[in-house]
Amino acid sequence: MEEVLIVGQGLAGTWLSWWLHQGGIPFKLIDRPNPNGASRRAAGLINPVTGRRIVKTWMIDELLPFARNAYREMENFLGESLMNEVAVIDLFPSVQMLQAFQHRYEQDPAYLALGGDREKYAASFRYDLGWGSIQPCLLVSVEKLLISWRAWLKRSGHLIESDFELNDLVEDSTGIRWSDIHARQIIFADGISSAQNPWFENLPFALNKGEGMLVEIKSLPDNLVYKKGMSLVPYAENIFWLGSSYEWTFENDQPSEKFRKNAESWLRQSLKLPFTILEHFAAIRPATLERRPFVGLHPHNKKIGILNGMGTKGCSLAPYFAKQLIEQITGNGNIEPLADIMRFQNILKRHPF
């Protein structure tokens, strides 16, 4: 009998399975490969400041050092480089953004530095209002990490490559059964699928579409992230991830003509270097109305749990809250109340079937 059955191997399922393995707890993970899952398309950036007013990201003073250690440990285990420390060069796109940066710097300079030489990036970019930098940020090679961890899951007999069907889930007195698997608990780390799971569909999900591109740009130094409204993030040798959009209402999950035009015009207007667009993609973020994750065992059925709602911040939230969820399961700790799904105990259904 397994202790835990995980559904999904995006960032959430990857980190859950990592901590289970670290704790020596038997588990299996079911995932259907999806090259356009949110994690597979993420830029991989952990940015300690956010939004138009450059406010500190929620819990970042704890999340960033935790993530740094967790990704380093996984790097050592897998024997691959998966994370770098980087600075984001913020080429101010408007007077408002310049003023917001300066104001925030005067109030609290944490994670910010004012730009020195104004022309420092002028060989590569067009910008009139100067720049500042945001640091330290972490840049995770998410796709590489997911592929590498999946290969380990497969080798070690933990992975079931399959579509999970909720109809096939059966509860018994000791736990749950799915196909020939018997486990004490099942944890849904299945991204946007949970928004249609009768156990969790009442949670205030607010799915959000994001589009991006992979762009070849030779001779742009790839040790920095460049941001001017849109961001150019190092992805592979001479290749940058460009994005992204944030759409709360959308008709489908496909790349759109509108984003392609905007991105092309951004590249022509902001970048002075030649570029080639290699790929255009779209993915749906499992975002939430209050911008806080959904973590924990179901308030009315402790055999079922969830790690979800990572929104735009899966790289920093997943390692930290996966650990908290495992600690809850093993009776060794509690979940941060603002992330715990206990806060929705009144709207979560007792018996959805």
- Residues near ligand FAD, by CB under 6 A: 7-13, 30-32, 34, 37-39, 41-46, 163-164, 189-191, 193, 210, 212, 243-244, 283, 285-286, 308, 310-316
Residue 343 CB, nearest approach to ligand FAD (Å): 19
By beta-carbon proximity to ligand FAD, the closer residue of 57 and 133 is 57
Residue 225 CB, nearest approach to ligand FAD (Å): 9
Read off the amino acid at residue 23.
Answer: G
By beta-carbon proximity to ligand FAD, the closer residue of 9 and 133 is 9
Candidates 341, 11, 316; CA nearest to 138 is: 316
Residue whose C-beta lies closest to ligand FAD: 10
Contacts of residue 120, defined as CB under 8 A and 6 or more positions apart, other chains included, come to 131
Candidates 96, 138, 98, 139; CA nearest to 118 is: 98
Contact 164, 282 (CB under 8 A): no
Residue 217 CB, nearest approach to ligand FAD (Å): 18
By beta-carbon proximity to ligand FAD, the closer residue of 97 and 263 is 263
305 phi, psi to nearest 5 deg:
-140, 175
Contact 85, 318 (CB under 8 A): no
Contact 54, 100 (CB under 8 A): yes
Q: How far is CA 191 from the centre of its chain?
A: 10
d(CA 132, CA 112): 7
By beta-carbon proximity to ligand FAD, the closer residue of 21 and 98 is 21
Residue 220 CB, nearest approach to ligand FAD (Å): 18
By beta-carbon proximity to ligand FAD, the closer residue of 130 and 341 is 341
Q: List Cα–Cα distances, 55 to 12, 31, 49, 112, 224, in angstroms.
A: 25, 36, 5, 11, 21
Contacts of residue 205, defined as CB under 8 A and 6 or more positions apart, other chains included, come to 192, 194, 195, 286, 287, 288, 289, 309
Residue 160 CB, nearest approach to ligand FAD (Å): 9
By beta-carbon proximity to ligand FAD, the closer residue of 130 and 195 is 195
d(CA 72, CA 347): 39
Residue 122 CB, nearest approach to ligand FAD (Å): 26
By beta-carbon proximity to ligand FAD, the closer residue of 5 and 130 is 5
Residue 7 CB, nearest approach to ligand FAD (Å): 6
By beta-carbon proximity to ligand FAD, the closer residue of 286 and 305 is 286
d(CA 321, CA 67): 11
Residue 99 CB, nearest approach to ligand FAD (Å): 25
